[in-house]
């Protein structure tokens, strides 16, 4: 009888183990300054001897004068363990309702941060700020510096990402169609030697350079992030709106204007029903480190957006198209 009971206990233990949630990734981090774990839209750079990560955080909710969406700043020495060191709060008339979705870029020893205003619907636009220490930023007086135009767009611009190409700085952004239903990617440019203020930017195409076409992309392609490999630009992007689920795809281009998808399937899908990223793997931020390795930072959750955590995967470049290194 004891032997049978023991076997039964062992079978039950095995069943419980089989149902246990998948292990958490080695990087599993969130800013808890707003009362819950909540960090979105990561952008990572190497500045000096440390890595800096910029990300979106929600309002405090206590109706203070600058209580809108904001940008958090964290530092790391190993890309896994992060410590928060600063914030960018609403400070200009254009971002008084909030700012978020940062895209960081280092040029001539200075950190340039491109980000969006929040809460203005079709009037949200791209802003610019700069810093000599990566933490304390000077806002561009002419903010916002860019919004798109044409019959194809409602005029909204979010999710900024910049990459130099020749003598120009390309600005990739997400926008909506005039009905505010379909999200897609556009591109503009400013002279690389300019100050990136309003008036320097020119929309390069009067149409999206990438729009949702695949079933998993649904009605949304957003959050473009760019890595250069030789003469090829690789874009990692988010397909699907938040928690639909949002998943991550990849596309390549030689000029930043014409893009070819690497696959009809997501590069990085959302997780299993009991995984930390069951609701989505979304809003990527690419980071090509000094050692030649490429990391893809991204957001995820398993509670339909009540919390948001940040993690990373390494990109494998051993074949013709990028893959997630397992």
Over residues 254-313, the pLDDT tens digits come to 999 999 999 999 999 999 999 999 999 999 999 999 999 999 999 999 999 999 999 999
The pLDDT value recorded for residue 3 is: 53
189: confidence class by pLDDT, cuts 50, 70, 90: very high
**Counting beta carbons within 10 angstroms of the beta carbon of residue 193, is it exposed (0 to 12), middle (13 to 18) or buried (19 or more)?**
exposed
Select from 1.10.10.10, 2.60.120.460, 2.115.10.20, 2.40.37.20 the CATH code of 28-324.
Answer: 2.115.10.20
Whether residue 2 is predicted with pLDDT greater than 70 in this model: the reply is: no
Whether the CB-CB separation of 78 and 70 falls below 8 Å is answered with no
Chain-centre distance for alpha carbon 304: 18
Distance CA 254, CA 259 (A): 8
Provide mean pLDDT across the span 91-96. Answer: 97
Domain ranges of the chain: 28-324
Residue 122, SS3 per DSSP: helix
> Which among 137, 273, 260 is positioned nearest to 209, based on CA atoms?
260
* Residue whose tokens read 């390549």: 252
The pLDDT value recorded for residue 66 is: 85
What's the chain's average pLDDT?
Answer: 95
* Residue whose tokens read 């039950």: 12
Overall residue count recorded for the chain in this entry: 326
Q: What is the DSSP string of 191-243?
A: ETTS---TTS-EE--SS-SB---SGGGTTBEEEEEEEEETTEEEEEEEESSTT
The pLDDT value recorded for residue 19 is: 62
Chain-centre distance for alpha carbon 254: 22
Distance CA 128, CA 140 (A): 6
Whether residue 120 is predicted with pLDDT greater than 90 in this model: the reply is: yes
The pLDDT value recorded for residue 44 is: 99
Provide mean pLDDT across the span 153-159. Answer: 98
Instruction: For residue range 5-22, list pLDDT tens digits in order.
Output: 554 544 455 544 456 789
> Which among 80, 21, 25 is positioned nearest to 53, based on CA atoms?
80
The pLDDT value recorded for residue 11 is: 47
Whether residue 172 is predicted with pLDDT greater than 60 in this model: the reply is: yes
The pLDDT value recorded for residue 17 is: 46
């Amino acid at each position: 009888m004891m032997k049978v009971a023991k076997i039964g206990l062992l079978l039950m233990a095995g069943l419980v183990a089989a149902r246990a949630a998948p292990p958490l990734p080695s990087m599993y981090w969130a800013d808890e300054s707003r009362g819950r774990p909540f960090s979105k839209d990561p952008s990572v750079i190497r500045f000096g001897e440390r890595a800096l990560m910029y990300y979106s955080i929600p309002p405090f909710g206590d109706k203070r004068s600058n209580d809108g969406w904001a940008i958090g700043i964290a530092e790391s020495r190993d890309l896994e363990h992060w410590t928060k060191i600063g914030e960018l709060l609403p400070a200009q008339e254009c971002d008084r309702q909030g700012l978020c979705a940062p895209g960081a870029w280092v040029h001539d020893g200075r950190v340039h941060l491109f980000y969006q205003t929040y809460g203005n619907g079709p009037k949200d636009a791209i802003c610019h700020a700069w810093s000599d220490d990566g933490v304390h930023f000077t806002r561009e007086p002419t903010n916002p510096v860019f919004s798109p135009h044409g019959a194809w767009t409602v005029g909204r611009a979010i999710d900024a990402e910049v990459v130099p190409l020749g003598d120009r700085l390309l600005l990739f952004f997400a926008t909506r169609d005039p009905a505010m239903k379909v999200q897609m990617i556009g591109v503009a440019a400013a002279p690389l030697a300019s100050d990136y203020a309003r008036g320097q930017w020119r929309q390069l195409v009067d149409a999206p350079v990438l729009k949702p076409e695949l079933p998993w992309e649904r009605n949304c392609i957003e959050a473009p992030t760019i890595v250069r490999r030789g003469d090829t630009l690789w874009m990692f992007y988010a397909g699907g709106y938040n928690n639909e689920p949002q998943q991550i795809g990849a596309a390549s281009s030689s000029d930043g204007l014409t893009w070819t998808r690497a696959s009809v399937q997501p590069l990085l899908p959302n997780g299993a029903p009991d995984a930390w990223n069951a609701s989505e793997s979304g809003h990527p931020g690419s980071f090509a480190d000094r050692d030649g390795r490429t990391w893809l930072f991204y957001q995820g959750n398993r509670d339909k957006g009540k919390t948001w955590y940040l993690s990373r995967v390494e990109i494998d470049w051993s074949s013709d198209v990028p893959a997630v290194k397992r």
